């Protein structure tokens, strides 16, 4: 097997990223290249690494990062992570990669990002014209649906605790804002019913895990139907891959589904809750 050599864009004096067991990636200057081994002087130590574990670093990378990572000189793992960290440090938790939105969980409430004036701001704006935001993705899908008369789909994906549930709420909130219409024949409009269904779904499908206090333990397909005028006419929510094992066993220190704890905390004068609670305790 032929030995690996350093990439042509890595020479002595180059600034590079090298894998680190503690920090994932650290940067440093190349001091020596010997075949597949590269000696790198970092801030606190000197590292000898294989060429496969070294990536070039952009010396002109802006300190504030970039909103769209297709503009990065090097779209590799350390470059992506550096950009996301720079933006996160400035409370910019959203970043584009073309028409893909990357969200970093801020682990705090940022209500100013989701107010009505923000929805008005993104209404009709082209994707990429304003700062990255879930409202921009939702608006783009809504506009394409209206223009092309074709159903659209938005995929929300990520690991546990990444913020999928909250991102889905923001998307639904914007679609309800765009397609909402008060129905005079009912007390609540369709869009209100769709948004108000979230707490119920979370109670019966979300649980506390070691990584997330409100983790969705099921998959959810939300279908929002619009009429020819772009107004919400109906909705359907389908759940799948529910963790049924949680009903009969729980791994310490995790919790079961929220609904069980809500039932146990319900006041005694609530007869329905009391009956369900007794049946539940008998079952357990």
With beta carbons less than 8 A apart as the criterion, state whether 68 and 96 touch. Answer: yes
| 194-231 pLDDT tens trace | 778 888 888 888 998 888 888 888 888 889 999 999 99
pLDDT at 212: 82
User: Is 176 a known ligand-binding residue?
Assistant: no
3-state secondary structure 161-184: CCCHHHHHHHHHHHHHHHHCCCCC
Average pLDDT, the chain: 86
User: Is 79 a known ligand-binding residue?
Assistant: no
3-state secondary structure of 81: helix
Report how far apart, in Å, the C-alpha atoms of 257 and of each of 71, 109, 191, 194, 220 are: 43, 23, 26, 21, 16
pLDDT at 117: 94
What whole-number distance in Å separates Cα of residue 82 and Cα of residue 103? 14
pLDDT at 84: 96
User: Is 162 a known ligand-binding residue?
Assistant: yes
- pLDDT of residue 271 exceeding 90, the answer is no
Residue pointed to by tokens 């090097």: 74
| Confidence class for position 264, pLDDT limits 50, 70, 90 | confident
Residues 6+ apart with CB under 8 A from 113: 133
User: Is 179 a known ligand-binding residue?
Assistant: no
pLDDT at 270: 64
What whole-number distance in Å separates Cα of residue 39 and Cα of residue 232? 61
| Tokens at 18, concatenated | 């090298």
Kindly provide the residue ranges of all beta strands, DSSP E only, lying in the chain, ordered along the sequence. 15-20, 24-34, 37-42, 46-50, 54-56, 94-97, 100-103, 206-207, 215-216, 219-226, 232-240
| Tokens at 66, concatenated | 């970039």
With beta carbons less than 8 A apart as the criterion, state whether 137 and 173 touch. Answer: no
CB atoms near residue 103 (< 10 Å) = 20
The Cβ-side half-sphere exposure at 203, using a 13 Å CA radius, reads 10
Residue pointed to by tokens 């014209």: 129
| 124-143 pLDDT tens trace | 999 999 999 999 999 999 99
CB atoms near residue 204 (< 10 Å) = 16
| 146-175 pLDDT tens trace | 999 999 999 999 887 788 888 988 999 899
| Confidence class for position 283, pLDDT limits 50, 70, 90 | very low
Complete domains list, the chain, with CATH:
15-56 (2.30.30.360)
What whole-number distance in Å separates Cα of residue 105 and Cα of residue 94? 9
User: Is 128 a known ligand-binding residue?
Assistant: no
Mean per-residue pLDDT, 42-52: 89
What whole-number distance in Å separates Cα of residue 195 and Cα of residue 159? 24
User: Is 165 a known ligand-binding residue?
Assistant: yes
Alpha helix stretches (DSSP H) within 34-109 = 77-89
- pLDDT of residue 185 exceeding 50, the answer is yes
With beta carbons less than 8 A apart as the criterion, state whether 226 and 145 touch. Answer: yes
Q: How large a percentage of the chain has pLDDT more than 70?
A: 87
With beta carbons less than 8 A apart as the criterion, state whether 160 and 215 touch. Answer: yes
- pLDDT of residue 9 exceeding 90, the answer is no
Q: Which residue has the higher pLDDT, 237 or 269?
A: 237
221 burial (CB, 10 Å; 0-12 / 13-18 / 19+) is exposed
Report how far apart, in Å, the C-alpha atoms of 265 and of each of 132, 212, 258 are: 41, 21, 11
């Amino acid at each position: 097997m032929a030995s690996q050599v350093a990439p042509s864009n890595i020479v002595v004096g180059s600034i590079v990223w090298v894998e680190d067991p503690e920090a994932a990636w650290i940067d440093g200057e190349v001091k020596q290249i010997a075949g597949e081994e590269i000696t790198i002087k970092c801030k606190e130590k000197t590292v000898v690494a294989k060429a496969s574990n070294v990536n070039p670093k952009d010396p002109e990378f802006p300190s504030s990062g970039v909103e769209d990572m297709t503009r990065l000189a090097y779209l590799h793992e350390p470059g992506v992570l550096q950009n996301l960290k720079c933006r996160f440090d400035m409370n910019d938790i959203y970043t584009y990669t073309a028409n893909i939105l990357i969200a970093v969980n801020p682990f705090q409430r940022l209500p100013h990002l989701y107010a009505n004036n923000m929805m008005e701001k993104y209404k009709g704006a082209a994707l990429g014209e304003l700062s990255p935001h879930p409202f921009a993705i939702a608006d783009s899908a809504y506009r394409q649906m209206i223009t092309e008369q074709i159903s659209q789909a938005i995929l929300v994906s990520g690991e546990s605790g990444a913020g999928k549930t909250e991102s889905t709420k923001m998307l639904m909130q914007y679609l309800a804002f765009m397609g909402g219409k008060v129905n005079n024949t009912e007390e609540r409009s369709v869009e209100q019913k769709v948004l108000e269904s979230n707490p119920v779904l979370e109670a019966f499908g979300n649980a506390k895990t070691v990584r997330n206090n409100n983790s969705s333990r099921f998959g959810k397909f939300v279908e929002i139907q619009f009429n020819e005028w772009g107004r919400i006419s109906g909705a359907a929510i389908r759940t799948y891959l529910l963790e049924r094992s949680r009903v009969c066993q729980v791994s310490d220190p995790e919790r079961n589904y929220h609904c069980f704890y809500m039932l146990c905390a319900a006041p005694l004068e609530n007869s329905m809750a009391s009956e369900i609670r007794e049946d539940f305790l008998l079952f357990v």
